[in-house]
Structure 1
Amino acid sequence: MGLVGASGSGKSTLLSLLAGLTDADAGEVRLSDKRVPGPAEVLVPGHPAIRLVHQEYQLMPNVSVRQNIAYAVRYYESTYREFRVNELLKLCHLTDVQDRLPRQISGGEKQRTAIARAVADKPSVLLLDEPFSHLDLPNRQIVRDMVFTLVRQEQTACLFVTHDATDALSIANSLGILRHGRLIQLDTPLTVYRRPATAYAARMTGSVNVLRAKHLPALGLPSTKPADSLCVIRPETIRLAETGIAATIRAVFFKGYHYEIEAEVSRYVCLRALTTHDGLHPGQVIHLELDPAAIWWVND
């Protein structure tokens, strides 16, 4: 499960509550129908079947990658311990750096080490706090793919929080949207993306046009909704055409495999659209075509 929310929405606090590291003001956390006690009730905070990987990795600085992972299974029989550590080193692509100290490896390797250590003794639940946020693009993809493979191979329930919807949309089975400490939507990534519950949920899951009903006539679209009702239109559903809605390009953003353009339709309406057309430039007049079926009405 992926959990997306803006900074300060309560993502890290929620993970701390779920891990038994913070006392709840009300309610309770349950795992397999058994209550997870908070730190005020136990000598050592935390739960033996729940592992939380922090943003800062929290590796032991003066021992090797291999020893960091082995520490998590130190109470197991030596033969199994050796087997398990070797298995995770291979699965997490850490074999080549297993004898290095944390300060001698990259951020991606540190993150993979922290995750390998967290799952070493096969917990029931793995919690990841912004697991990809500090990584460059190549390492981000490596760690993301590794998490995808690891949780399925280990059959571990995983909840990760992120502010980047791309990560959540790409690997999560279910996606939650958190705002001001409240879960405002929970569904499949596809449903949350195409049918967001609110404008906030739409913005948290990617680029989107948010318009009021009173502005739809400028797009040639009638509306039976109240004037201040909100709708969302994803940029990929807006097409460049020979005829249609006249608009003036304000900005062109190269995205690698496509362009995202910002085009002004009127004083009050500016749309973002995706295209693979080359040669577009600010000031150019274009025509846009909208599919009425792609409009989705949301709460404010």
Structure 2
Amino acid sequence: MLTATHLSKSFADLAAIRNVSLTLAAGQIMALVGASGSGKSTLLNIIAGLLDADRGEVRLDGGLVIGPKDVLVAGHPQIRVVPQEYQLMPNISIRENINYALRFYERTYRSARVDELLKLCRLEAVQHHKPREASGGEKQRTAIARAVAEPARVLLLDEPFSHLDLPNRLIIRDLLFELVRQQIGDQPPPACLFVTHDATDALSIADQIGIIQQGQLKQIGTPREVYFSPKTTYAARMTGPVNVFRGKHLSVLGLPPTHPSEAFIGLRPEHISLADDGPVAGTVQAVFFQGRQSELDVRVSRYVSVRLLTERDDVQVGDQVRIHLNGNRLMSIG
């Protein structure tokens, strides 16, 4: 449905986006994950038609998405953007903010559609509040409701989870699922693309994840592909906690030297376990309680420490433990 081909963009001597290509299908959720300054928001604005690319093109249903230098009003009518700072009108209510997006529609339809969106976005109880009286989650949901008030082909979100507490993050996650399933009349469901620096939400909600680093799309795949088979150390670390070792340290960890000594090897904490008969001994340096389980920092040697997860609640700092590493889960990450 949407294709971005060989996009590049520079600001003065800084290359913000470098030869990025991606595709997005109707009803699909894609997440772009990268550190601050990696070019995520710039790419989003180019796809939305709010910023001109230096090279490359964006097409929606085969038609060219034109940048602001060639149109009177920037943006594409079928591509909606939810900015990071919401950009709600401060002096009217939440209901009126959503209603404004439908101002050219007949009154009866407009009222019914606003009621539908308020219910979908869980805003009925605060619909008469002004944005300054609303929480961050309520303002985020209002911005999303306003963006999808009219039928849209693509919904773009810039860091939709960044200002939210855990309960509101879960609400927004569920809402995005609802939106990509929603069909208005004979319109297909919209596609959703969001950018984030925190992969926690991306892994749980996205169909595809792209890893962006210094303006380049380094890897793209399903959440499981990117999490369990990252191509680089950066991709591994952007998608969650990971132990990174040199190949020469595998023997210290009780593993056969199956990789070159200078290669980087990754292993997720969930693939290391405490075991009374484990082949490797270590000393617990720190215990980080996470609810159902704890994360342990275990020093194995002068130069090697590992992070692992355990459901045991009797482990303390200073304890001597034995551990087992699942060699079948080692990841070559450059």
TM-score (norm. length: structure 2): 0.88
Residue 151 (structure 1) shift? 2.1
Match of 1:138, SS? helix
Residue 22 (structure 1) shift? 0.8
Superposed structure 1 runs of 4+ greater than 6 Å apart: none
Q: Which residue of 2 aligns with 1:188?
A: 222
Q: Which residue of 2 aligns with 1:32?
A: 61
Q: Which structure has more helix as a fraction of its residues? A: 1
Q: Name the aligned partner's letter for residue 83 of structure 2.
A: H
Structure 2 distance, partners of 1:78, 1:50, is: 24
Correspondence list, 1:1-300, <5 A: 1-154=30-183, 155-244=189-278, 245-299=280-334
Structure 2 distance, partners of 1:122, 1:247, is: 58
Unaligned residue ranges in structure 1 (runs of 5+)? none
Residue 122 (structure 1) shift? 1.4
Q: Identity over aligned residues, as a percent? A: 61
Q: Name the aligned partner's letter for residue 256 of structure 1.
A: G
Q: Name the aligned partner's letter for residue 149 of structure 1.
A: E
Structure 1 distance, partners of 2:182, 2:249, is: 50
Residue 225 (structure 1) shift? 2.5
Structure 2 distance, partners of 1:100, 1:298, is: 50
Structure 1 distance, partners of 2:182, 2:230, is: 31
Structure 2 distance, partners of 1:210, 1:152, is: 39
Q: Name the aligned partner's letter for residue 288 of structure 1.
A: I
Match of 2:312, SS? coil
Match of 2:257, SS? coil
Residue 107 (structure 1) shift? 0.8
Structure 2 distance, partners of 1:190, 1:79, is: 45
Q: Name the aligned partner's letter for residue 321 of structure 2.
A: I
Residue 141 (structure 1) shift? 1.4
**Alignment deviations for residues 94-124 of structure 1 (CA, whole Å, 9 cap, x no partner):** 1111111111111110000000000000110
Residue 31 (structure 1) shift? 1.0
Q: Name the aligned partner's letter for residue 116 of structure 2.
A: E
Residue 73 (structure 1) shift? 1.3
Q: Name the aligned partner's letter for residue 193 of structure 2.
A: L
Residue 176 (structure 1) shift? 0.8
Unaligned residue ranges in structure 2 (runs of 5+)? 1-29, 184-188
Q: Which residue of 1 aligns with 2:11?
A: none
Q: Name the aligned partner's letter for residue 217 of structure 2.
A: L
Q: Which structure has more strand as a fraction of its residues? A: 2
Residue 35 (structure 1) shift? 1.0
Residue 224 (structure 1) shift? 3.6
**Alignment deviations for residues 37-84 of structure 1 (CA, whole Å, 9 cap, x no partner):** 111111111110001101100001111111111111111122211111
**Alignment deviations for residues 137-166 of structure 1 (CA, whole Å, 9 cap, x no partner):** 111211221122222224110001111111
Q: Name the aligned partner's letter for residue 136 of structure 1.
A: D
Structure 1 distance, partners of 2:165, 2:255, is: 42
Match of 1:70, SS? helix
**Residue range with higher mean Cα deviation, 82-91 or 218-227:** 218-227
Structure 2 distance, partners of 1:106, 1:297, is: 43
Residue 283 (structure 1) shift? 1.4
Q: Name the aligned partner's letter for residue 130 of structure 2.
A: L
**Alignment deviations for residues 12-51 of structure 1 (CA, whole Å, 9 cap, x no partner):** 1111111111111111111111111111111111110001
Number of matched pairs: 299
Structure 1 distance, partners of 2:168, 2:71, is: 38
Q: Name the aligned partner's letter for residue 31 of structure 2.
A: G
Match of 1:168, SS? helix
Structure 1 distance, partners of 2:286, 2:259, is: 31
Match of 1:210, SS? strand
Residue 196 (structure 1) shift? 0.9
TM-score (norm. length: structure 1): 0.97
Structure 2 distance, partners of 1:13, 1:91, is: 30
**Residue range with higher mean Cα deviation, 259-268 or 74-83:** 74-83
Match of 2:316, SS? coil
Q: Name the aligned partner's letter for residue 236 of structure 2.
A: A
